[in-house]
């Protein structure tokens, strides 16, 4: 579904009364420098990577609260340290980091856990496009496997009831 379609999100979530885990893993990577990136690129990054995530979370908060659930934000290393040429994407990921921190502060007392996972470069189609944008050659073995990122999410979600993994950072191991 189109995550930027507020009405569709509301309709898709309206029947959920309990939700144990919500993993935000959709995203776009509109790259470019500040000088070369028009407002439309910035808006699209923020709409998909930040605003849609917050709206979906807002709609599902009652169900998450009922289950004392867990929200996982798959962010990016660019949400921790921005690089030249990554302006729109990095800014949206820094904003996502702030949203997760705010949600954690607001909902922890209600039993909702919030984890942000910051994976480094991961072997995905999005990464292939990023490498092409950068003019590099793509070698899948140089990147995290999606299964490794999924294992980190699983570890956060299945941590004991006394544990709250708030942030996890993953990087590819050097070959």
Active site members = 89
Q: Give the distance, in angstroms, between the CA of residue 163 and the centroid of all CA atoms in the same chain.
A: 21
Q: Terminus-to-terminus CA distance in the chain, angstroms?
A: 38
Backbone angles phi, psi at 153, to 5 degrees: -60, -45
CA distances from 30 to 63, 88, 94 (A): 32, 6, 14
d(CA 137, CA 41): 25
Residues 151 and 139: their CA atoms lie apart, in Å, by 22
Q: Are 69 and 22 in contact (CB under 8 A)?
A: yes
Helix, strand, coil shares of the chain, percent, nearest 5, are: 50, 15, 35
Residue 159's CB is within 10 A of a number of other CB atoms, namely 14
């Amino acid at each position: 579904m189109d995550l930027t379609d507020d009405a569709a999100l509301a309709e898709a979530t309206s029947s959920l009364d309990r939700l144990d885990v919500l993993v935000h893993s959709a995203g776009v990577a509109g790259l470019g420098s500040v000088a070369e990136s028009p407002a439309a690129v910035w808006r699209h990054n923020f709409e998909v990577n930040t605003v849609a995530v917050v709206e979906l979370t807002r709609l599902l908060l009652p169900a998450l609260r009922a289950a004392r659930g867990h929200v996982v934000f798959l962010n990016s290393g660019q949400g921790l340290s921005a690089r030249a040429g990554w302006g729109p994407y990095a800014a949206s990921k820094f904003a996502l980091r702030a949203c997760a921190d705010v949600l954690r502060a607001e909902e922890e007392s209600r039993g909702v856990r919030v984890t942000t996972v910051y994976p480094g470069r991961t072997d995905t189609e999005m990464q292939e496009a990023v490498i092409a944008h950068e003019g590099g050659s793509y070698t899948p073995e140089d990147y995290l496997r999606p299964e490794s990122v999924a294992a980190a999410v699983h570890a956060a979600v299945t941590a004991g009831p006394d544990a709250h993994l708030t942030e996890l950072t993953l990087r590819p191991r050097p070959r």
